[in-house]
Structure 1
Amino acid sequence: MELTQLKYFLEVARTEHVTQSAKNLCIVQPALTQAIHKLEDELGVALFKTSGRNIKLTESGKFFYEKMLPLYANMMELPEQLRATANKQNNNVKLNVLAASTLITNAVIEYKQNNSDINVDLIQNEETNIFDICVRTYATYKPELDNTNSDKTFVHSEKIFLAVPNTAQYKKLSSISLLDLKDEKFIRLYGSKQYRKICNELCDRIGFHANVTFESDNATAIKEAVAAGIGVGFWPKLSWGKMDHKKIKLLEITDTEFKRDIVVSLRRNKQDNSKTEQFYNFLTKYIQQKQTRKRK
């Protein structure tokens, strides 16, 4: 059976008048009659019977009409439903945030203010490759390290400072060597595997082992602990924000290039990736602009 045959049958069954149906369908009557006969031959049953000058549905025709009418209606709705589904998928961005979560969350909030139709689905899963955009971090990014099969990649280097209490010991300093802090207590962010690994790698480069005495799962808590003189800690200025606490100073680390690369990857997973790419472009520009403001 062809879809056109079903369309013709339903129209003739509705009007029970071949001439009127042909006019409604904008086709010639012989073509309509031929299509109905072909459908009956394929089904092996008569769908219509002659009743005077008109036609009527047979019992088989009535059964077929009742079953086919809702099916055909559903089929006619499918294209619109498919377009709606595709549009919904396009408006949904799956964002896997494995680094710089505060920075990225603030970017999402700002973007949503002017793009309320976009739904950003935030996830945090190091094991998954199911995402539209992923934010990762490396000590030094190399393309071969990326196993996400990304279509587009943005890399931004972020300097890592040492946050110290603004006491007499550090007050006049603008930079420091970690090797001078072997007896200092360090405060570390708990739970951030990638960031912790990077800090460990950077320390290993210069043969320094941090004496970690306190861990927190909150950057603000680390800031308050440093201000209270509990210890010192590594502070990625762009991701965690500026140091607005008068009791804290940020010192540049001189032993090696203390930095990390923030990597934003894009995957084109949909038929229409325009909204995802629009958000990706905003996100990368947002990071660049934040860095420019920090320098000023």
Structure 2
Amino acid sequence: MELTHLKYFLEVAKNEHVTKSARNLCIVQPALTQAIHKLEDELGVPLFKTQGRNIKLTECGSFFYKALKPLYEDIEALPKRLRAMANKENKTLNLNVLAASAFVTDAVIQYKQIDPDLQINLIQSLETTLYDVSVRTCENYDATPAPDEEVFVCPEKIYLAVPNSAQYKKMTSASLADFKNTNFIGLYGTKALGYICKEFCKRVGFDLNVTFVSDNSNVVKDAVAGGIGVGFWPEFSWGKMDHRKVRLLDITDAEFKRDIIVTLRRNKQDNSRAEKFFAFLTNVLKKEASKRGRLHKR
């Protein structure tokens, strides 16, 4: 069955008048009659019967009309619904944040001033691939991006945060090996960074002993300042270390850093908004890296 023939049938069934229906459809009457006959042949049943000078729906025709009308209306509405779906999709950015969440949140707040209509859905899932932009971390990124992906990698140095007490007051660097029997403080929800730190400590020669974990970086600062323990502090992604009672020491055992990986997935018909946000976020990271003399790479 052709959609055009179904459209013709619905018009004739509504009017029960061929001439009027042909005029409404802007076609000649013989073409309309031929289309109806062809539809009846395909269905194998008569849809109309002659009643005097008029035509009426048969019982089969009436059943077919009632069943077909809502289906055809749904089909006609599909293009409009698809356009609305595409428009909504283009206004929505799915952002999977698995690292540097405080830094990324600040960037999102800044970007919303540039594009206030953009709906940003924040996700935190290791398994999902349903994202437009993701932020994650690893020690050394060396993977090859997929054909539909663009990747920006920003190295971030990791310091050792210690109390600004007499014991450490004149220190600017330290060997991590000297802290193997020290209690460490961590930030809850930083599993990837925690793994990086644990592996680094193993290479230095000891198992990391995390005795206190908080979900707030300010609490981590206060705990370090209070002498509860020491901790690892990323150079900029947790915010500025502005606590006067905490010192950040260079780790001398080896270069200790992590890579922040920002990935753009071009998985929509229109990726322009995701691309603009990706460019904004990576530019903010570039500025932070350049302040500290770090190189960025793609």
TM-score by length of 1: 0.87
Residue 253 of structure 2 corresponds to 255
The answer on whether the counterparts of 1:163 and 1:249 sit within 8 Å (CA) in structure 2 is: yes
Can you list the C-alpha shifts for 1:15-70, whole angstroms capped at 9, x where unaligned? 33322222221222221111011112222222223344443333333332222222
The 2-side partners of 1:160 and 1:262 are apart by 12
When the two structures are aligned, how many residues end up with a matched partner? Answer: 293
The answer on whether the counterparts of 1:149 and 1:267 sit within 8 Å (CA) in structure 2 is: no
Runs of 4+ in 1 over 6 A off after TM superposition: none
The 1-side partners of 2:194 and 2:97 are apart by 16
Q: Which amino acid aligns with 1:221?
A: V
**Secondary structure of residue in 1 paired with 2:228:** coil
Residue 20 of structure 1 corresponds to 20
**Secondary structure of residue in 1 paired with 2:286:** helix
Q: Which amino acid aligns with 1:103?
A: F
Can you list the C-alpha shifts for 1:240-293, whole angstroms capped at 9, x where unaligned? 110111212222222211110011122233333333333222222232234445
Shift of 1:156: 0.5
**Secondary structure of residue in 2 paired with 1:172:** coil
Q: Please list, as runs of the form range in 1=range in 2, the aligned pairs for 1:216-231 lying within 5 A after superposition.
A: 216-231=214-229
Long gaps (5+) in structure 2:
294-298
Shift of 1:96: 2.2
Residue 241 of structure 2 corresponds to 243
68-77 vs 265-274, which moves further: 265-274
The 1-side partners of 2:189 and 2:118 are apart by 29
172, 175, 179: which one pairs with 2:173?
A: 175
The 1-side partners of 2:61 and 2:180 are apart by 91
The 1-side partners of 2:58 and 2:279 are apart by 63
Cα distance 1:74–1:191, how it changes in 2: closer, same or farther (>3 A)? closer
The 2-side partners of 1:213 and 1:78 are apart by 58
Residue 198 of structure 2 corresponds to 200
Residue 232 of structure 2 corresponds to 234
Q: Please list, as runs of the form range in 1=range in 2, the aligned pairs for 1:45-124 lying within 5 A after superposition.
A: 45-124=45-124
The 1-side partners of 2:136 and 2:126 are apart by 9
Residue 44 of structure 1 corresponds to 44
Residue 279 of structure 1 corresponds to 277
The answer on whether the counterparts of 2:134 and 2:263 sit within 8 Å (CA) in structure 1 is: yes
Cα distance 1:150–1:213, how it changes in 2: closer, same or farther (>3 A)? farther
The 2-side partners of 1:196 and 1:243 are apart by 19
The 1-side partners of 2:33 and 2:282 are apart by 63
Cα distance 1:181–1:51, how it changes in 2: closer, same or farther (>3 A)? closer
The answer on whether the counterparts of 2:223 and 2:229 sit within 8 Å (CA) in structure 1 is: yes
Cα distance 1:43–1:181, how it changes in 2: closer, same or farther (>3 A)? closer
**Secondary structure of residue in 2 paired with 1:169:** coil
The 2-side partners of 1:71 and 1:205 are apart by 66
Q: Which amino acid aligns with 1:193?
A: K
Cα distance 1:125–1:41, how it changes in 2: closer, same or farther (>3 A)? same
Shift of 1:188: 2.6
The 2-side partners of 1:81 and 1:215 are apart by 48
Residue 296 of structure 2 corresponds to none
164-173 vs 253-262, which moves further: 164-173
**Secondary structure of residue in 2 paired with 1:56:** strand
The answer on whether the counterparts of 1:178 and 1:253 sit within 8 Å (CA) in structure 2 is: yes
Shift of 1:112: 2.9
Cα distance 1:61–1:187, how it changes in 2: closer, same or farther (>3 A)? closer
Shift of 1:237: 2.4
Q: Which amino acid aligns with 2:26?
A: C
Residue 185 of structure 2 corresponds to 187
**Secondary structure of residue in 2 paired with 1:238:** coil
Cα distance 1:56–1:184, how it changes in 2: closer, same or farther (>3 A)? closer
Q: Which amino acid aligns with 2:234?
A: P
Residue 136 of structure 1 corresponds to 136
Asked whether 1:266 is paired with 2:264, we answer yes
Shift of 1:150: 6.5
Identity of aligned residues (%): 61
Can you list the C-alpha shifts for 1:154-208, whole angstroms capped at 9, x where unaligned? 1100111121222233333333332444554432334422111111222333335
Q: Please list, as runs of the form range in 1=range in 2, the aligned pairs for 1:1-20 lying within 5 A after superposition.
A: 1-20=1-20
Shift of 1:127: 3.2
The answer on whether the counterparts of 2:154 and 2:289 sit within 8 Å (CA) in structure 1 is: no
Cα distance 1:243–1:46, how it changes in 2: closer, same or farther (>3 A)? same
The 2-side partners of 1:72 and 1:125 are apart by 41
**Secondary structure of residue in 2 paired with 1:134:** strand
The 2-side partners of 1:149 and 1:131 are apart by 16
